[in-house]
Amino acid sequence: MNVSETLIHHASDWIDWIDASGGLTNRPRVADPLQLSLSDAPADLSMISQNGRTRLWRGHQDMLHLSLNGRASAAQLAYPDAPNFALAGEVRDLYRRYNPRLFSITAGNANGHSVELYRTPMGTRFASAGGLRGNVRYEDDSPASWAILNIEVTPLVGPKLNFRAQADMQGDFVLAMDRLPALAKDVTPRHYSAKLSASALKSASGATIANPDTFVTANIQSPNDVAVFATPIDLTVSPGTVDTLTSKDQPHLVLRIP
């Protein structure tokens, strides 16, 4: 078959919007429709979003859009060396099952990027394994808005398991521990050892949106000792229960930025 002309169009790059809530072994793309608002992007950029992936197209980079006589060779079909570009903005879930966030990447190399989104308290559901809920605040009682909480659980057998959640603007969080193994009926004590860590940004307190990639490690006030701020802190978690996590003598969990 004779080919008189070959048209080649390369996407510049793509972004996968990842559901980072719950267990770190299950990280699907977010299926909800997302609203993107860009604050920094090339003028010729177009975006096509579907099934949790946004493809980035540059209209004026000639090396990405070729018209060749005859059949293209493998070398001609290969992705060309195109310049990178800055891309920044905010992403929001139209159904409000995921917290909004700012993001900033260097795109254009066709390697793909992953941007993590976290479920809102309303968008989080506890399964049979249970989990934790609560409110995170700083020592001055201001909300630790958008703080990221990570719990590492050591089961009786097998590798350690990690689960994550993000607080909303008010500091409320719901951390589901899906796939946390149940304990046999004859096992005592009825809990697993765990360690809790957090990242946050004091200047994000009360902000309507933030970029969790810029957060720093926070110390957590112990549930057992008001004098102890540490990272991580030791906990125990019981599969099949939903517990409220608080610092000692407080109705909430207290964070301190070192």
CATH number of the domain at 130-256, out of 3.40.50, 1.25.40, 2.60.40, 1.10.3470? 2.60.40
pLDDT at 88: 98
pLDDT in tens, 142-164: 999 999 999 999 998 889 999 99
DSSP-derived secondary structure letter, 1 = -
pLDDT in tens, 196-238: 999 999 999 999 999 999 999 999 999 999 999 999 999 999 9
pTM given for the model: 0.88
Please compute the mean of the pLDDT values over residues 19-46 and round it to a whole number.
93
pLDDT in tens, 100-129: 999 999 988 788 899 999 999 999 999 999
Please compute the mean of the pLDDT values over residues 48-52 and round it to a whole number.
91
pLDDT in tens, 179-199: 899 988 888 888 999 999 999
Buried b (16+ CB within 10 A) or exposed e, 192-223: bebbbbbbbbeebbeeeebbbeebeebbbbbb
Structure tokens at 58: 């540059």
Distance of alpha carbon 188 from the chain centroid:
35
pLDDT at 77: 46
Strands 229-230 and 13-19, by their bridges, are: unpaired
Q: What is the signed CA dihedral for 195, 201, 206, 208, rounded to 10 degrees?
A: -100
* Residue 49 phi, psi (nearest 5): -115, 135
pLDDT at 74: 57
Residue range(s) of every CATH 2.60.40 domain in the chain: 130-256
